Structure 1
Amino acid sequence: MKDILSYESEIWACADLLISSGIKQSKFPDYMMPFFALIMLEGRMRNEMRDIQEAEGIDPTENIEDFVEAFRDRECGYNDYIVRQNKTLSSICDNDKTFEQDFSQYLAGFDAQLKELLGIERGTDDSKYLNLDGMVAELRKKGILMQYITGWAQIDLSPYNNSEITTLEEHIKRKWADISAETAGEQYTPEDIISLIAEIVAAKIDIPKRDFVHLYDPTCGGANLLFGVADRLREGAGYEFIAANGCDWNDALYALAKIESLFRDNAEIKYGNTLTSLPFNGKSFDVVVANPPYGIPWKGYEKEIRDDQTGQFAFLPSVSDGQLLFLQHNAWHLHDSKGIVVEVNNGSSLFSGDAGSGESNVRKYLFDNDWVEAIIQMPSDEFFNTGIVTYLWILNKNKSADRKNKVILINASDLWQPLKKNKGSKRKEMNETHRADIVRALVEFRDCDIAKVYDKWHFYFNKQQIELTEIDEAGRSASESLGYYGEPYKIKNFEATYDEANGWLWPIGDNAEYPEEALANLDIQPKDIIIFSKEYIYISGKNRPGIIQISRKDGSDENLGMGCLNFSISRSKTTGKVSASAKVTNKTDKDTEVIPYNPDPEENDRVIAEFLARYLSKPYRLLDNTVGVEVNFNKEFYVPETVEPVDTILAEIAEIDSELATLEKELGL
């Protein structure tokens, strides 16, 4: 029996007909998925038929009704044409004259559930999933239906067990991801990442091997991550009973996952928007794994998310990216006393959004509850359709005492080996040794060459808003010079009319002539602000912008320092009398300082005060303070670039000069 993966090239050879028929490569998965599902179903059904004969001793040639009943009892789907009549796609393709009739009977033989998943006899139903009828119609219109199906019919998967068929399926789905996925990591998680996640789960969960492990993937796609982790836990870690639960609302991928689940024990795949339809509402899981799409907006179902009453979302991130919605959803579904979440995200979940934003508040919520146990940076170029760096978030609601309020960062960015042949954007993979190093660092939970352990508060920060008072070179501000220390100084005994053209306030009364003389003497420009009281003339901007000066009637001047002249005019509706109020205020600017955080309120106040005293030279007033959380691997694992000593550089330059001189001599220059 040949290696099942040798069929991979034969499957893709079927695509040659699509190319010659003018079908774009990006559409290949639409045409290939339903027919791969057909041969996968046929191969697995024939496996079940053989097992019934061997394990239950029922011979279909002698007692077909008992045989059919035994097959139906296995609840793995049914096709009367395959089971009762023992026909295959290959036998249908043997006779071109009866092909259309036989193929129609073959499709009609599936039970109702499989017809729904395959997209057979769906009519105008929107949920066509694999849309087999639609693809058959297109292929028939192009005149290649029988030829195309004949290519698929040569692929006989019946000699292989379910695990082997799954292996082939994952290889094919990976290639579909290469050519059709529009979103990074949306469809397929690489096998080395799946192995790492499974090994992390096996090392972290404390569940007896004979107990059920309840596993959940809220964005399961074709279920390669979900079933891949389940298989590795069963085969590699010895967990015999695993209930695998998944959800997705990509029609074709859901259908493939659902079909796969029919041939597995304790597997349940549901269709729908995980965040709004909540297919597993009220259920807690021991293990949650997920690779949600990166950077996908959730605006299309924003109302449902904002109206959510379940409590799964403590805060909402920007509508441009839903990753942190899934991280909260997964934490919400995680069992309180056991198990972990392992979710793949890109870097935006670590640091996007300022303090007080939805993103920062989600991170703070997870850290406040002390659910974040580890974050692992993966190598770049690990996924098939993106070269970006990804991260594993590991959440644990039941940390051991020595890990309370602590988080380990593991930098696995250099733990990789090059692929012999690139697979799309995937150029790197982690081997068994690399994965073991990561798991060891997580289990030992101490500083090492690839990991650092932090108090969780290390990732918190104060975003302190302040009001800065502008001062002149002598350190003066107008309000303080007048003895009001930051409060507005109200100019008293002031009554005036307002010259709107020039922006001046003219006094009313006995001294009406005085301002004109004063203005002439002071050489005031219309852009300047002048306010007259009985004692002084207040001038802003005469010497330079922002400086307040007072001029006395005796001609003496005094600079008060930096500040502003503010005045307001009101007119009585009944008398028409104009009144004005005038103030001297400090000139202020608002600024923000990012300051380390301390969980003790008094100590945090002291940290803020010391920081501002050290770095600010201007008087300030504290405004609002917002606490944020972010994680920056570049900062935590920064390695300064090494610079060669000056002597070495000079020696290299001298050597180059010598070589150039020799070359010039040889050339006779």
Structure 2
Amino acid sequence: MSEEQKRQLQQQLWNIANTLRGKMDADEFRDYILGFIFYKYLSEKIHFTANKILHDSGEETDYNDVDENSEEGKEIVEAIYEEIVEDLGYFLKPSELFSNVAKKGYNRVEGESNFILPELSKILTNIEQSTLGTSSEDDFEHLFEDLDLTSSKLGKTEDEKNTLISKVLYHLDEIDFNLSDSNADVLGDAYEYLIAQFASGAGKKAGEFYTPQQVSTILSRIVTSRRNQLKSVYDPTCGSGSLLLRVAREAKVSDFYGQEMNRTTYNLARMNMILHGVSYSNFDIKQEDTLEKPQHMDKTFDAIVANPPFSAKWSSNELLLLDERFSQYGKLAPASKADFAFIQHMIYHLDENGIMAVVMPHGVLFRGAAELTIRKNLIKEKNYLDAVIGLPANIFYGTSIPTCILVFKKCREQDEDILFIDASKEFEKQKNQNVLLNKHIDKIVETYQNRTEIEKFSHKASLEEVAENDYNLNIPRYVDTFEEEEEIDIHAVMNELKELEAKRSELDAEINVYLKELGLVF
């Protein structure tokens, strides 16, 4: 599929999404359209896989044409279930396929009602129930709970709701997701596009589920520097899972791990993983508060990426000083700002040869008290901080504040200095948002990878220099971006003022002549 065809698919899906837009908020119609796209994907995946099984066994029948009520049909469906559920992790009968439901809902069939909402609701429940007792059960549990087909926001009456949903399914059914092309992640790209579109319209809520693609690319390229394969990647605040999947574009990843507190976003992350072709056996996404109820305490990871909520509140309960994630620092991050708590959590999970890149507000670079104690420990005692990268302001959805990327390694190759990069001016202004272009991303990543010193852009500060600054990491202390103003010629300016004054006197005299003619004297 060409780039133009990809763009057309993205636009088609966005147009269908806007069918729901007049009825509800951006984050609400997001859950419906992404949920229906996911149902269509699951359906087409089953259809394609079932047909392959049938044809490999010598059957010429299309799975969609199997009469599941006949004895022969029941045997075929049961045999395919046995073969398919362990591989894909779920199952759909022929009558439950998306295309059949979509056609039934939009076209009145003689003698048959086109009211599909109860049937559709039952099918979505059946998908989850088809996993019961299997190893994929946790990954599909309550996956469709945000698709409330009884919501009044879909319409005042049941007929209005049914008409709207039927229309959306009909238009989705007309789109070919091209699942037969195993090398194309066309649908995955389109899904990411939709998530980004929803994020741009969701205001402050956007930060709960999406990291701008250009920032994700920087983080991903940093943690995969000179590595083309990773055993595991982890995001403790994974949102929609987009950042984890972005790492997989830079290197082959065996297993994905994440944790997300928001239930709706957690569901979106699991859908996003499956829709990008990640097997349920290769991802482990949990729903819980990462700091208070961590779910992967027994694991360390090759790469860690994260964009935690900036300066979020947390308990900072003194009992957590007994927690091995925090105990060795002697201090907890303040209750009003959990930034360093997330950093400590990630450091704990970082493999000895791993690398971690995390987005943070600038306050973590210079705030005092407990945060200074933790910062000093990470640099002086552990020597884990590898780089500090300042990003432009106004590149995140929902906030205009400037941010930075902190890079940590437990076994640093260059352990006598910390690289500082000031990329705050590396952007292009687009509408209301600043955007990092590919050339800006390349400059940042290549400077990090090569640890290059560039005037007014990057500097390798020795640990002694950082200590002399009392472990204040404010970037202007290390990267001098001061631009000298052009020298002013005072004599030339004075002469110009004299000339202007002379011209003003001439004009005053001329104006007075006209005023006298009008009988006006001032």
- Normalising by structure 1, we get a TM-score of 0.63
Which residue number in structure 1 is paired with residue 244 of structure 2?
226
Which residue number in structure 2 is paired with residue 316 of structure 1?
332
Assess if the C-alpha contact under 8 Å between 1:184 and 1:293 holds in 2: no
Change (3 A) 1:32 1:277: same
Change (3 A) 1:445 1:321: same
Which residue number in structure 1 is paired with residue 265 of structure 2?
253
Among 636, 639, 647, the alignment partner of 2:478 is 636
> Secondary structure in 1 aligned to 2:441?
helix
1:192 positional shift: 1.3
Which residue number in structure 1 is paired with residue 373 of structure 2?
361
Distance in 2 between residues matched to 1:142 and 1:178, nearest whole Å: 31
Distance in 1 between residues matched to 2:358 and 2:296, nearest whole Å: 18
Change (3 A) 1:294 1:212: closer
> Secondary structure in 1 aligned to 2:208?
coil
Q: Does 1:439 align with 2:451?
A: no
Deviations 1:125-171 (A, max 9, x none): xxxxx2x2376355354663123313421124552447222222222
> Secondary structure in 2 aligned to 1:629?
coil
Distance in 2 between residues matched to 1:53 and 1:97, nearest whole Å: 27
Change (3 A) 1:184 1:260: closer
Written as runs of structure 1 = structure 2, the 5 A alignment for 1:45-64 is 45-54=43-52, 57=55, 59-60=62-63, 61=65, 63-64=76-77
Deviates more, 1:76-85 or 1:106-115: 76-85
Written as runs of structure 1 = structure 2, the 5 A alignment for 1:481-500 is none
Change (3 A) 1:184 1:7: closer
Distance in 1 between residues matched to 2:263 and 2:35, nearest whole Å: 13
1:377 positional shift: 0.8
Distance in 2 between residues matched to 1:286 and 1:110, nearest whole Å: 33
Which residue number in structure 2 is paired with residue 457 of structure 1?
464
Deviations 1:455-514 (A, max 9, x none): 123223xxxxxxxxxxxxxxxxxxxxxxxxxxxxxxxxxxxxxxxxxxxxxxxxxxxxxx
Amino acid of the structure 2 residue aligned with 1:28: A
Overall identity of the aligned pairs, in %:
21
Which residue number in structure 2 is paired with residue 15 of structure 1?
20
Higher strand share: 1
Which residue number in structure 2 is paired with residue 387 of structure 1?
400
Deviations 1:67-123 (A, max 9, x none): 33333232343344665696233432334643344334433432235461211xxxx
Amino acid of the structure 1 residue aligned with 2:460: V
Runs of 4+ in 1 over 6 A off after TM superposition: none
1:56 positional shift: 6.8
1:214 positional shift: 0.8
1:321 positional shift: 1.3
Deviations 1:552-579 (A, max 9, x none): xxxxxxxxxxxxxxxxxxxxxxxxxxxx
> Secondary structure in 1 aligned to 2:191?
helix
Which residue number in structure 2 is paired with residue 65 of structure 1?
78
Q: Does 1:109 align with 2:126?
A: yes
Amino acid of the structure 1 residue aligned with 2:213: E
1:397 positional shift: 0.6
Distance in 2 between residues matched to 1:392 and 1:53, nearest whole Å: 48
Distance in 2 between residues matched to 1:57 and 1:254, nearest whole Å: 37
Assess if the C-alpha contact under 8 Å between 2:14 and 2:194 holds in 1: no
Q: Does 1:139 align with 2:154?
A: yes
Distance in 2 between residues matched to 1:99 and 1:135, nearest whole Å: 12
Written as runs of structure 1 = structure 2, the 5 A alignment for 1:78-93 is 78-80=91-93, 87-93=100-106
1:383 positional shift: 1.3
Written as runs of structure 1 = structure 2, the 5 A alignment for 1:104-183 is 104-112=121-129, 114=140, 116-119=142-145, 130=146, 132-133=147-148, 136=151, 138-141=153-156, 144-153=160-169, 154-156=171-173, 158-161=176-179, 163-182=185-204
1:317 positional shift: 1.5
Change (3 A) 1:203 1:85: closer
1:365 positional shift: 1.6
Q: Does 1:377 align with 2:382?
A: no
Distance in 1 between residues matched to 2:403 and 2:269, nearest whole Å: 24
Between Structure 1 and Structure 2, how many residues are aligned?
462
Distance in 2 between residues matched to 1:16 and 1:386, nearest whole Å: 24
Distance in 1 between residues matched to 2:410 and 2:325, nearest whole Å: 17
1:452 positional shift: 0.5
Which residue number in structure 1 is paired with residue 231 of structure 2?
213
Which residue number in structure 1 is paired with residue 418 of structure 2?
407
Q: Does 1:74 align with 2:87?
A: yes
1:329 positional shift: 0.8
Which residue number in structure 1 is paired with residue 132 of structure 2?
none
Deviations 1:359-381 (A, max 9, x none): 11111121120100111111222
Distance in 1 between residues matched to 2:310 and 2:292, nearest whole Å: 18
Change (3 A) 1:82 1:222: farther
1:629 positional shift: 2.3
> Secondary structure in 2 aligned to 1:174?
helix
Deviates more, 1:133-142 or 1:279-288: 133-142
Assess if the C-alpha contact under 8 Å between 1:42 and 1:82 holds in 2: no
Amino acid of the structure 2 residue aligned with 1:306: L
1:226 positional shift: 0.9
> Secondary structure in 2 aligned to 1:268?
strand
Amino acid of the structure 2 residue aligned with 1:116: H
Amino acid of the structure 2 residue aligned with 1:405: E
Deviations 1:344-363 (A, max 9, x none): 1110111112xxx2111111
- Normalising by structure 2, we get a TM-score of 0.80
Assess if the C-alpha contact under 8 Å between 1:81 and 1:106 holds in 2: no
Amino acid of the structure 1 residue aligned with 2:211: T
Amino acid of the structure 1 residue aligned with 2:306: A
Distance in 1 between residues matched to 2:32 and 2:141, nearest whole Å: 11
Distance in 1 between residues matched to 2:154 and 2:54, nearest whole Å: 41
Distance in 2 between residues matched to 1:150 and 1:631, nearest whole Å: 56
Written as runs of structure 1 = structure 2, the 5 A alignment for 1:317-336 is 317-336=333-352
Deviations 1:214-239 (A, max 9, x none): 10000000011111112x124xxxx3
Distance in 2 between residues matched to 1:655 and 1:441, nearest whole Å: 46
Change (3 A) 1:142 1:278: same
Deviates more, 1:629-638 or 1:68-77: 68-77
Q: Unpaired runs of 5+ in structure 1?
A: 120-129, 461-595, 598-627
Change (3 A) 1:13 1:629: same
Which residue number in structure 2 is paired with residue 264 of structure 1?
278
> Secondary structure in 1 aligned to 2:284?
strand
Which residue number in structure 1 is paired with residue 31 of structure 2?
33
Distance in 2 between residues matched to 1:44 and 1:97, nearest whole Å: 23
